Protein backbone atom coordinates (compact mmCIF):
# COMPACT_ATOMS: atom_id res chain seq x y z
CA UNK A 1 0.00 0.00 0.00
CA UNK A 2 1.80 3.15 1.21
CA UNK A 3 5.57 3.19 1.74
CA UNK A 4 8.70 5.27 1.38
CA UNK A 5 9.05 9.04 1.33
CA UNK A 6 5.80 11.03 1.32
CA UNK A 7 6.73 14.73 1.50
CA UNK A 8 4.31 16.93 3.47
CA UNK A 9 3.94 19.99 1.27
CA UNK A 10 3.85 23.53 2.63
CA UNK A 11 0.95 25.67 1.46
CA UNK A 12 2.29 28.51 -0.71
CA UNK A 13 0.61 31.90 -0.31
CA UNK A 14 0.83 35.02 -2.44
CA UNK A 15 -0.65 38.18 -0.97
CA UNK A 16 -2.62 36.08 1.48
CA UNK A 17 -4.17 33.72 -1.06
CA UNK A 18 -3.35 30.16 -2.08
CA UNK A 19 -0.65 30.28 -4.77
CA UNK A 20 -1.75 27.42 -7.01
CA UNK A 21 1.14 27.77 -9.47
CA UNK A 22 3.69 27.50 -6.67
CA UNK A 23 1.87 24.49 -5.22
CA UNK A 24 2.08 22.78 -8.60
CA UNK A 25 5.83 23.51 -8.74
CA UNK A 26 6.32 21.94 -5.32
CA UNK A 27 4.35 18.85 -6.32
CA UNK A 28 6.30 18.41 -9.53
CA UNK A 29 9.64 18.81 -7.78
CA UNK A 30 9.03 16.09 -5.20
CA UNK A 31 7.43 13.68 -7.67
CA UNK A 32 10.24 14.14 -10.18
CA UNK A 33 12.66 13.69 -7.29
CA UNK A 34 11.49 10.14 -6.73
CA UNK A 35 9.10 10.58 -3.80
CA UNK A 36 6.76 7.66 -3.22
CA UNK A 37 3.71 9.77 -2.41
CA UNK A 38 2.57 13.30 -1.59
CA UNK A 39 0.74 14.77 1.39
CA UNK A 40 -0.94 18.16 1.69
CA UNK A 41 -2.75 19.77 4.59
CA UNK A 42 -0.63 18.41 7.43
CA UNK A 43 1.20 20.51 10.02
CA UNK A 44 3.68 21.76 7.42
CA UNK A 45 0.76 23.09 5.37
CA UNK A 46 -0.60 25.44 8.08
CA UNK A 47 -4.09 23.92 7.99
CA UNK A 48 -5.27 25.60 11.18
CA UNK A 49 -5.11 29.03 9.53
CA UNK A 50 -7.10 28.02 6.43
CA UNK A 51 -10.77 27.72 5.65
CA UNK A 52 -12.25 24.38 4.66
CA UNK A 53 -12.66 25.64 1.11
CA UNK A 54 -8.98 26.57 0.91
CA UNK A 55 -7.96 23.16 2.19
CA UNK A 56 -10.26 21.47 -0.32
CA UNK A 57 -8.84 23.51 -3.17
CA UNK A 58 -5.27 22.60 -2.21
CA UNK A 59 -6.24 18.92 -2.29
CA UNK A 60 -7.77 19.36 -5.76
CA UNK A 61 -4.66 21.12 -7.10
CA UNK A 62 -2.32 18.44 -5.76
CA UNK A 63 -4.43 15.60 -7.12
CA UNK A 64 -4.60 17.27 -10.52
CA UNK A 65 -0.84 17.84 -10.67
CA UNK A 66 0.07 14.36 -9.43
CA UNK A 67 -2.27 12.83 -12.01
CA UNK A 68 -2.11 9.35 -10.51
CA UNK A 69 1.68 9.00 -10.57
CA UNK A 70 2.00 8.44 -6.81
CA UNK A 71 -0.49 8.17 -3.93
CA UNK A 72 -1.87 11.39 -2.47
CA UNK A 73 -2.65 11.29 1.26
CA UNK A 74 -4.06 14.65 2.42
CA UNK A 75 -4.22 15.72 6.02
CA UNK A 76 -7.92 16.08 6.77
CA UNK A 77 -8.00 16.47 10.53
CA UNK A 78 -9.53 19.45 12.30
CA UNK A 79 -10.50 20.30 15.85
CA UNK A 80 -14.21 19.90 15.15
CA UNK A 81 -15.28 16.36 14.25
CA UNK A 82 -17.79 17.68 11.71
CA UNK A 83 -15.02 19.46 9.79
CA UNK A 84 -12.80 16.39 9.88
CA UNK A 85 -15.63 14.28 8.47
CA UNK A 86 -16.34 16.83 5.74
CA UNK A 87 -12.70 17.09 4.65
CA UNK A 88 -12.13 13.35 4.77
CA UNK A 89 -15.24 12.66 2.69
CA UNK A 90 -14.09 15.32 0.25
CA UNK A 91 -10.62 13.75 -0.06
CA UNK A 92 -12.13 10.36 -0.82
CA UNK A 93 -14.58 11.73 -3.40
CA UNK A 94 -11.86 13.85 -5.03
CA UNK A 95 -9.76 10.75 -5.70
CA UNK A 96 -7.14 10.71 -2.94
CA UNK A 97 -5.72 7.30 -2.05
CA UNK A 98 -6.09 7.84 1.69
CA UNK A 99 -6.15 10.49 4.40
CA UNK A 100 -4.11 11.40 7.46
CA UNK A 101 -6.13 12.51 10.50
CA UNK A 102 -4.44 14.30 13.38
CA UNK A 103 -5.17 13.43 17.00
CA UNK A 104 -7.65 16.09 18.20
CA UNK A 105 -5.66 18.98 19.61
CA UNK A 106 -6.10 21.62 22.31
CA UNK A 107 -9.01 19.93 24.12
CA UNK A 108 -6.82 17.02 25.38
CA UNK A 109 -9.38 14.19 25.06
CA UNK A 110 -8.94 10.96 27.00
CA UNK A 111 -8.33 7.62 25.29
CA UNK A 112 -12.03 6.73 25.04
CA UNK A 113 -12.72 10.11 23.46
CA UNK A 114 -9.99 9.56 20.90
CA UNK A 115 -11.26 6.07 20.16
CA UNK A 116 -14.76 7.38 19.48
CA UNK A 117 -13.42 10.25 17.37
CA UNK A 118 -11.41 8.03 15.04
CA UNK A 119 -14.14 5.39 15.02
CA UNK A 120 -16.59 7.95 13.65
CA UNK A 121 -14.14 9.00 10.94
CA UNK A 122 -13.54 5.37 9.95
CA UNK A 123 -17.29 4.64 9.80
CA UNK A 124 -17.90 7.74 7.67
CA UNK A 125 -15.42 6.73 4.96
CA UNK A 126 -15.41 2.91 4.86
CA UNK A 127 -12.94 1.31 2.44
CA UNK A 128 -10.83 4.49 2.53
CA UNK A 129 -7.37 4.02 4.09
CA UNK A 130 -6.71 6.23 7.11
CA UNK A 131 -3.49 7.11 8.91
CA UNK A 132 -3.69 8.38 12.48
CA UNK A 133 -1.40 11.38 13.00
CA UNK A 134 0.17 11.15 16.47
CA UNK A 135 1.92 14.44 17.29
CA UNK A 136 1.81 15.03 21.05
CA UNK A 137 4.00 18.13 20.91
CA UNK A 138 1.33 19.96 18.90
CA UNK A 139 -1.82 18.18 20.04
CA UNK A 140 -1.01 18.19 23.74
CA UNK A 141 -2.09 14.56 24.03
CA UNK A 142 -0.91 11.18 22.71
CA UNK A 143 -3.02 8.32 21.43
CA UNK A 144 -1.98 5.17 23.31
CA UNK A 145 -0.79 2.05 21.46
CA UNK A 146 -3.64 0.08 23.05
CA UNK A 147 -6.17 2.56 21.64
CA UNK A 148 -4.60 2.30 18.19
CA UNK A 149 -4.68 -1.50 18.38
CA UNK A 150 -8.34 -1.41 19.36
CA UNK A 151 -9.13 0.89 16.45
CA UNK A 152 -7.29 -1.32 13.98
CA UNK A 153 -9.13 -4.42 15.14
CA UNK A 154 -12.51 -2.67 14.89
CA UNK A 155 -11.90 -0.71 11.67
CA UNK A 156 -9.75 -2.33 8.96
CA UNK A 157 -9.53 0.94 7.02
CA UNK A 158 -7.34 2.38 9.82
CA UNK A 159 -4.13 1.11 8.26
CA UNK A 160 -1.34 3.10 9.83
CA UNK A 161 0.02 5.94 11.93
CA UNK A 162 2.41 8.85 11.53
CA UNK A 163 4.53 9.11 14.67
CA UNK A 164 5.86 12.63 15.32
CA UNK A 165 7.63 12.08 18.61
CA UNK A 166 11.11 11.21 19.86
CA UNK A 167 9.64 8.31 21.84
CA UNK A 168 11.00 5.24 20.05
CA UNK A 169 9.73 2.92 22.78
CA UNK A 170 6.21 3.88 21.65
CA UNK A 171 6.81 2.11 18.32
CA UNK A 172 7.65 -1.21 19.94
CA UNK A 173 4.43 -1.16 21.95
CA UNK A 174 2.48 0.06 18.92
CA UNK A 175 3.61 -2.90 16.80
CA UNK A 176 2.72 -5.29 19.61
CA UNK A 177 -0.80 -3.81 19.91
CA UNK A 178 -1.59 -3.08 16.26
CA UNK A 179 0.47 -5.75 14.50
CA UNK A 180 3.87 -5.76 12.87
CA UNK A 181 2.24 -5.10 9.49
CA UNK A 182 0.69 -1.81 10.68
CA UNK A 183 1.96 1.01 8.42
CA UNK A 184 4.02 3.34 10.58
CA UNK A 185 5.58 6.50 9.13
CA UNK A 186 8.20 8.62 10.86
CA UNK A 187 7.13 12.21 11.47
CA UNK A 188 10.41 13.54 12.90
CA UNK A 189 12.91 13.97 10.11
CA UNK A 190 16.13 12.91 11.84
CA UNK A 191 14.52 9.77 13.29
CA UNK A 192 13.54 8.27 9.92
CA UNK A 193 16.23 5.60 9.94
CA UNK A 194 15.86 4.66 13.64
CA UNK A 195 12.10 4.25 13.21
CA UNK A 196 12.50 2.27 10.01
CA UNK A 197 14.95 -0.06 11.74
CA UNK A 198 12.08 -0.91 14.14
CA UNK A 199 9.62 -1.55 11.33
CA UNK A 200 8.35 1.80 10.06
CA UNK A 201 7.70 1.73 6.31
CA UNK A 202 8.74 5.28 5.49
CA UNK A 203 8.76 8.92 6.43
CA UNK A 204 6.55 11.96 6.04
CA UNK A 205 9.43 14.41 6.32
CA UNK A 206 9.42 18.11 5.44
CA UNK A 207 13.10 17.85 4.44
CA UNK A 208 11.97 16.00 1.33
CA UNK A 209 10.73 19.33 -0.03
CA UNK A 210 14.39 20.41 -0.13
CA UNK A 211 16.07 17.08 -0.89
CA UNK A 212 13.47 14.71 -2.33
CA UNK A 213 15.93 12.34 -4.03
CA UNK A 214 18.05 11.80 -0.94
CA UNK A 215 15.13 11.23 1.43
CA UNK A 216 13.50 8.81 -1.02
CA UNK A 217 16.76 6.92 -1.46
CA UNK A 218 17.26 6.60 2.30
CA UNK A 219 13.80 5.01 2.55
CA UNK A 220 14.46 2.68 -0.37
CA UNK A 221 17.74 1.49 1.13
CA UNK A 222 16.18 0.91 4.55
CA UNK A 223 13.25 -0.99 3.05
CA UNK A 224 15.71 -3.15 1.11
CA UNK A 225 17.71 -3.90 4.25
CA UNK A 226 20.74 -1.86 3.14
CA UNK A 227 21.24 -0.22 6.52
CA UNK A 228 24.83 0.76 5.82
CA UNK A 229 23.76 2.76 2.77
CA UNK A 230 20.79 4.20 4.65
CA UNK A 231 23.08 5.16 7.55
CA UNK A 232 25.32 7.17 5.22
CA UNK A 233 22.31 9.11 3.98
CA UNK A 234 21.07 9.55 7.56
CA UNK A 235 24.25 11.38 8.50
CA UNK A 236 24.35 13.28 5.21
CA UNK A 237 20.81 14.59 5.82
CA UNK A 238 21.25 15.29 9.53
CA UNK A 239 21.84 19.05 9.32
CA UNK A 240 18.99 19.60 6.86
CA UNK A 241 16.68 17.52 9.04
CA UNK A 242 17.58 19.56 12.11
CA UNK A 243 17.28 22.85 10.20
CA UNK A 244 13.55 22.26 9.70
CA UNK A 245 13.18 22.91 13.45
CA UNK A 246 15.54 25.84 13.91
CA UNK A 247 12.29 27.78 14.12
CA UNK A 248 8.65 26.70 14.05
CA UNK A 249 7.89 24.52 11.02
CA UNK A 250 7.27 25.60 8.23
CA UNK A 251 9.15 28.89 8.75
CA UNK A 252 12.64 27.54 7.94
CA UNK A 253 11.25 25.36 5.15
CA UNK A 254 9.46 28.22 3.41
CA UNK A 255 12.40 30.57 3.92
CA UNK A 256 14.76 28.31 1.97
CA UNK A 257 12.15 27.37 -0.64
CA UNK A 258 11.64 31.08 -1.31
CA UNK A 259 15.37 31.50 -1.93
CA UNK A 260 15.13 28.58 -4.34
CA UNK A 261 12.45 30.48 -6.28
CA UNK A 262 9.70 27.95 -5.56
CA UNK A 263 7.32 30.09 -3.51
CA UNK A 264 6.90 33.42 -1.76
CA UNK A 265 8.30 33.86 1.75
CA UNK A 266 4.84 34.20 3.20
CA UNK A 267 2.94 32.65 6.10
CA UNK A 268 -0.46 33.02 7.69
CA UNK A 269 -0.51 34.88 11.03
CA UNK A 270 0.44 34.25 13.75
CA UNK A 271 3.48 32.76 11.98
CA UNK A 272 6.04 35.21 10.70
CA UNK A 273 9.65 35.58 9.57
CA UNK A 274 12.45 34.11 11.63
CA UNK A 275 15.37 36.07 13.07
CA UNK A 276 18.32 37.30 11.00
CA UNK A 277 20.54 34.88 12.96
CA UNK A 278 18.44 31.85 11.98
CA UNK A 279 18.23 33.09 8.39
CA UNK A 280 22.02 33.23 8.24
CA UNK A 281 22.28 29.66 9.55
CA UNK A 282 19.70 28.56 6.98
CA UNK A 283 21.60 30.31 4.20
CA UNK A 284 24.82 28.49 5.09
CA UNK A 285 22.98 25.17 5.34
CA UNK A 286 21.29 25.69 1.96
CA UNK A 287 24.62 26.54 0.32
CA UNK A 288 26.27 23.39 1.73
CA UNK A 289 23.51 21.22 0.25
CA UNK A 290 23.66 23.00 -3.10
CA UNK A 291 20.11 24.28 -2.83
CA UNK A 292 21.05 27.81 -3.90
CA UNK A 293 22.80 28.90 -7.07
CA UNK A 294 26.21 30.28 -6.02
CA UNK A 295 25.52 33.64 -7.61
CA UNK A 296 22.04 33.96 -6.09
CA UNK A 297 21.51 36.82 -3.65
CA UNK A 298 19.51 35.73 -0.63
CA UNK A 299 17.09 38.46 0.48
Annotated binding site for pyruvate: which residue ranges?
44, 204
Active site residue: 115, 133, 170, 254, which one?
Answer: 133
Nearest alpha-carbon partner for 46 in 71, 69, 21, 23: 23
How are beta strands 13-14 and 17-18 bridged, if at all?
A: antiparallel
Q: Torsion over CA of 42, 133, 86 and 109, rounded to 10 degrees? A: -120
Q: Which residues contact 156 (CB under 8 A, 6 or more apart)?
A: none
**Active-site residue, 115 included:** no
DSSP at 189: G
Give the separation between CA 226 and CA 257, rounded to whole angstroms.
31
How are beta strands 130-134 and 158-163 bridged, if at all?
A: parallel
Give the separation between CA 117 and CA 124, rounded to whole angstroms.
11
Which residues are annotated binding-site positions? 44, 204
Nearest alpha-carbon partner for 213 in 30, 5, 3, 33: 33
Nearest alpha-carbon partner for 36 in 6, 14, 56: 6
Active site residue: 56, 92, 162, 254, which one?
Answer: 162
**Active-site residue, 162 included:** yes
Angle among Cα 217, 222, 226 to the nearest 5 degrees reads 95
Give the separation between CA 39 and CA 211, rounded to whole angstroms.
16
Q: Are 72 and 96 in contact (CB under 8 A)?
A: yes
Q: Are 130 and 157 in contact (CB under 8 A)?
A: yes
Give the separation between CA 56 and CA 60, rounded to whole angstroms.
6
Report, as residue numbers or ranges, the catalytic residues. Answer: 133, 162
Amino acid sequence: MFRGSIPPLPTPFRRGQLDEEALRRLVERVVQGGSHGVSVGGTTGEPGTQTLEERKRAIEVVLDQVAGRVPVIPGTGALRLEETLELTRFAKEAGAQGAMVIVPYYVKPNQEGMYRYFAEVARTVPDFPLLIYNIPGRAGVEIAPKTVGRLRRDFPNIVGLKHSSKDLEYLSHLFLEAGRDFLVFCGLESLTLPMMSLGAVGTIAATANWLPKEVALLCEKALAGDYQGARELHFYLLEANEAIFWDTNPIPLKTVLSWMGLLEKEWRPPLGPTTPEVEERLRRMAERYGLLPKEKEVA
